[in-house]
Structures are given as C-alpha cells and as structure tokens.
Chains A and B, each alone.
Chain A
Amino acid sequence: MPPILAASDLHFLDFLHYPPIAIEQGSMTFVQGPSGCGKSTLLRLFNATATPSAGQVLFDGQDIAGLDTIQLRRDVLLVSQATYLFDDTIEGNFLRYYELREQTPPAQQQMRDCLALCCADFELSASCSTLSGGERQRVFLAIFLSFAPRVLLLDEPTSALDEATARQLMEQLKAHCVAQQITVVVVSHDRQLAQQYADATIILAKGAAE
C-alpha cells in the first residue's frame, strides 16, 4: 500500500531540510528531535498552513500544492500545541467549531464519547473558562477527534498532562485510531512515549535530518 503522506526533498526557508518521509496508512508515527529542528513546521507543511520553499508533500499520492487546502486540512487535521477554546460551555465549543466548518454538529452522546476517549469526562454544560490547561488541551483534542479525519497530526498532545493521564490518553487514542484506520503523526519530546506507542519514528536534527 502506498504511503498516505510522503515528502521528498522538502525545504522550509533556508534553514530546514527534511529527509525523505513516508508515513504508512493506519500507523502511529512519532517525530522527534531537538527544539528548533522543524518538527512543528513539518506538521504545518503537511496541512498546508505553511508552504515549502522547495520539495513536495504527497497526500494519497497527490501533490498537496494542487489540492483544495480547506478540504486537505479537514482530511489531514492538525491539533496544534496552542489550544483555543471559546468562552463557552464544552457543548458550545463543539457547536461553534462545527459552525465554522459549516457542518452539522454531532449528537450529545457522540460528544461525550469523544471526551471520554480523550480522558475529559466533563459535563457538556461545563464552562471552558474554569478548566485547567491540561483539561482544556484534552477538550480541544476531543473536539478535533470528533471531526473524524483521515490523518491526525498531534503537536505535543501530552505536554500539559501528568504521566498517568498521558499514558491513558495515548492508550485510548491509539486503540481508537487503529479501529478507525486513522493515521496519526505525533510530535513529542517524550522518548518513552514514542518507544511505547510508535509504529515508526522520524528523527530530525537541527538544520538537516539525520
């Protein structure tokens, strides 16, 4: 089966040069490397919120330069490190995100299922302004997971979580994504997490890949 995401000769500005990349469908791939080596930028190149200065990214065998970027971002969904929730209830946030995507929101039970999957078993009526940083991160992830993308790009998904919650989240996330055939690319500094859950690992070095 051809890789769902691939990149060749990928450069960003003058200082980031990536090795050839091939991400298998349905796999969980970790991207690791020191700060500033271009891990987060790689995810932005995958969802076309950044444009490479050279090289190409292929999604499903097609160069993303020719694809509709809005549809691409829905298929290749990036959950960034900087989370954003509206000053509203959890349900209100689901509704507002779906409204912005001009889509019908899921049923309440489906919202609860996504929250449970992300270790965020809060009432839908709970106000997001009272949640802690880690809780907000999980609610944010739950909303994005409910969009049912084909590829999920996670930028430091466990950065605001304690170790036990981080493990539980990754455990549940992996099981869900395997069952749903969702490909996952995770940027993480946590080597243990990668050893435990990665099907493949991409190691980047500063400036040029190893």
Chain B
Amino acid sequence: MKGVVEIQLWQFGLIYLLLLIVVGVMKKCHVNQSRLLVWASVRMSVQLVLAGLVLTYIFKNPHPALTLLYLTAMIGFAIYRVLSKNKGINRRFQQVIGLSIALPGLFVAAFFIYIVVGETSFDPQYIIPIAGMIMGNAMNGVTLGIKTFRETLESQRPRMEALLNAGATPRSILMPFMSQSLETALLPTMNSMLGMGIVSLPGMMTGQILSGTLPTTAILYQIAIMIAICTVVCLATFGSLYFGLKTLYNSRNQILL
C-alpha cells in the first residue's frame, strides 16, 4: 500500500469553495445563517491548525505532563460545552455531570488503550486521539441526554404535580424521564453503528486507510472505537441522569425545579 498523498496548501484551499455552494443554498432558502457558517468554518480551521501544531510539538517532545495537560483541557472543555448548552442546572447536578463525563471517559479510554490495544506506555500518539474521540462523543451524548431530560421536565409539570400529590415517590416519577433521555442520547450512536461500513466509512478508519494502514487493521480499530463510544455515551449519560436526578428532590420528597 502506498502512503498518504500530501495535499499542497493551494489545493487544500479549494475545499473552501464548497462552502460557497452552501451559502448559495442558504440565500435561496432565506436561511440567515451565512455569518455563522463563515464563523464556524474559520473557528474550526483555526482550532484544528492550533491542535495540529500543539500535537506536533507533543509528539516530538513526549512528556507525561504535557499529555496529561492536554487530556485535562479536553475533559474540561467537554464539560464546559455540556454545561453551556444546558444552562439553569443546579450546582450539584453540574458537578455530577462533570464527574460522569470525566470518570467513564477516562475509564473507557484506558481500557481501550491499555487492555485492547495493549499499549504499555503513556504514548500521546495513542492517548490523545483516542481519548479525544471518546470524550467528544461523551460530550455529544450527555448534551443530548440532558437537553431531552430538561425539556421533558419542563413539558411534564402537570404530570409530576399530579403523581406527587397521588403519593408517588419523586424517584418513581422522574425515572421514566431518565430512561427516555438515555434512549435519545444513545440513538445517534446506535444508528451510526447500524450504517457503518454500508452508509459510511467513519473518520478514524478513513484516516488510517489514507495514511497507509491495512483496511483489515483499520476495521478492527474502528469496531473497537465504536463499541468504546457506545459504552462511554451510555455510562456518561446514565451517570449524569441517574445521580443528577437525586439533586432534583429533597428529603421532604418535594421536586425542586
């Protein structure tokens, strides 16, 4: 197999032309989000260039402290994104969400790298990209799960009031909302798993194949990462909702919203 074809910078620049098509469609359909599209594209490009530079430095000068710092920043940003998308959550619930993203994320990443891949060192070349994929998906799953949970709570106030008055426990009232939100959070990952290999060749696998890895090896990595992602989305969302739910009622069995 040949290695990856290097893209020239001017060739790379051509990809931005596709955005003109998107802007054209937006204008035609009166979707006034062209500025957001430009901002998102610029921000994404700058962030990735910076990440590329930082990763190049870290890979050239591997040191556990730098890797740890990168991991911490990654986890911190994931938690920040979830909380900024779900404002109005009480302090204890926020702490629960933070722990529920960090702990399962680290556990699944460590399991993948040290047990499945069999890596023995603290090699940033494995840890950072794999932890990144795992944390990114945990972030998306929890954001979706918490958003669904909050919207359900908001729309189901009469139900909660009636059941509480009927003498049901807050826990039994809130548990169905948790199940529904967990299901919503897991659906995109499970759908993606269903279509994988038929509808899409996912990013990690594509990247490995482009850089010259045998497809059979790339497939093993892809299967492993998909199962890891499904697990982390499930654990992080479940942890956030299951333990977060306990912050929504007090010892007098009053629901605090």
Which residues of A line the B interface, CB within 8 A?
Answer: 47-51, 69-71, 73-74, 77-80, 82-84, 97, 100-101, 140, 144, 147
Contact = CB atoms under 8 A, between A and B. Distances in A.
B253 A69 contact: yes
Interface string B146-176: 0000000000011101111111110011000
Contacts, number: 58
Contact of B159 (A50, A69, A84, A144): A84
A140 B163 CA distance: 11
Nearest to B253: A69
Interface of B: 157-159, 161-169, 172-173, 252-254
A140 B166 CA distance: 11
Contacts of B166: 73, 77, 97, 100-101, 144, 147
B158 to A, nearest CB: 4
A49 B168 CA distance: 12
9 contacts: A47-B165, A49-B161, A50-B254, A51-B254, A70-B169, A79-B165, A97-B163, A140-B162, A147-B167
Contact of B158 (A73, A77, A82, A100): A82
A48 B250 CA distance: 12
A51 to B, nearest CB: 6
Contacts of A71: 167
Contact of B162 (A50, A51, A74, A83): A83
Contacts of B157: 82
Contacts of A49: 161, 164-165, 254
B167 A70 contact: yes
A78 B253 CA distance: 15
